[in-house]
């Protein structure tokens, strides 16, 4: 399938229409951004690594019965996906405290959160993706109650599947963000799952293997993403 007109340019991916109304092509770029787009850099190979990694994760989720927009890889940095009507509410699950939770509540980084917490954020760069709740999301018309219920259940299912997967690679899935959309009345997983949108720590050393390396200027960002991929058995040899 060929790319048609550019529909949208996100912070790390570009979205193109295809000749078919039900599909889009996502192009994973090397752009890496943090702090609502205030810090932006090009990190060589990141687009290709994330495209391959995302495909691997989406297929694992599909095998576990979680419907996603992933259809097939088209090239090293392009993927064919179902065209969803995106719901502008981000779903975050936290298994361990980090990031904005620590800043908000003064909790020590790494504190185990039992049971894991579920949070919603309104996707809006200009507002800095503010934290919202279910009631506000319904009132503002971002999602229905039923959609929110499904999004929450699906996010917990993803947590179950991926916590086990990363554990097998000796990593902790600290937290992650998912985005959902509607495809012919079904709520399905969209966007991407990559180290850009989750936190992963080595289980023993607690070494950060995710975008916090970029946010905190620790260096070795793409190298860490490659390490995560290799630990899970994602083949990067040809990219």
What is the contact surface with ligand C5P in residues (CB under 6 A)? 92, 98-101, 129, 175-177, 197-199, 211
Tell me the closest approach of the beta carbon of residue 70 to ligand C5P, in angstroms: 18
* Contacting residues for 147 by C-beta, under 8 A, at least 6 apart: 87, 180, 182, 187
Give the nearer residue to ligand C5P in terms of CB position, either 59 or 100. 100
Give the nearer residue to ligand C5P in terms of CB position, either 16 or 201. 201
Give the nearer residue to ligand C5P in terms of CB position, either 101 or 158. 101
Give the nearer residue to ligand C5P in terms of CB position, either 36 or 235. 36
Tell me the closest approach of the beta carbon of residue 54 to ligand C5P, in angstroms: 13
Tell me the closest approach of the beta carbon of residue 237 to ligand C5P, in angstroms: 27
Closest-by-Cβ residue to ligand C5P is 99
Give the nearer residue to ligand C5P in terms of CB position, either 122 or 183. 122
Q: Using alpha carbons, list the distances in angstroms from residue 158 to 58, 66, 93, 155, 232.
A: 10, 8, 10, 5, 16
Q: Using alpha carbons, list the distances in angstroms from residue 224 to 30, 92, 113, 137, 170.
A: 15, 22, 25, 35, 14
Tell me the closest approach of the beta carbon of residue 210 to ligand C5P, in angstroms: 7
Q: Using alpha carbons, list the distances in angstroms from residue 70 to 26, 205, 217.
A: 10, 33, 32
Tell me the closest approach of the beta carbon of residue 177 to ligand C5P, in angstroms: 3
């Amino acid at each position: 399938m060929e790319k048609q007109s550019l529909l949208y340019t996100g912070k790390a991916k570009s979205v193109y229409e295809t000749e078919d109304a039900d599909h889009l092509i996502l192009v994973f770029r090397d752009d890496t951004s943090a702090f609502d787009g205030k810090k932006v850099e090009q990190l060589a190979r990141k687009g290709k690594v994330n495209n391959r990694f995302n495909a691997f994760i989406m297929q694992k989720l599909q095998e576990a019965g979680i419907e996603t927009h992933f259809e097939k890889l088209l090239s090293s940095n392009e993927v064919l996906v179902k065209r969803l009507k995106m719901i502008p509410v981000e779903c975050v699950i936290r298994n361990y405290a980090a990031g904005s939770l620590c800043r908000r509540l003064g909790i020590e980084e790494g504190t185990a959160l039992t049971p894991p917490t579920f949070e919603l954020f309104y996707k809006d760069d200009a507002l800095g993706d503010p934290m919202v709740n279910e009631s506000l999301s319904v009132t503002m018309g971002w999602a229905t109650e039923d959609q929110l219920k499904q999004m929450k259940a699906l996010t917990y299912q993803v947590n179950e599947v991926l916590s086990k997967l990363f554990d097998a690679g000796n990593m902790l899935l600290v937290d992650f963000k998912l985005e959902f959309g509607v495809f012919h009345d079904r709520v399905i997983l969209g966007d991407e799952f990559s180290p850009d949108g989750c936190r992963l720590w080595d289980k023993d050393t607690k070494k950060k293997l995710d975008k916090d390396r970029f946010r905190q200027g620790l260096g070795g960002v793409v190298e860490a993403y490659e390490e995560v991929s290799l630990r899970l058995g994602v083949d990067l040899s040809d990219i």
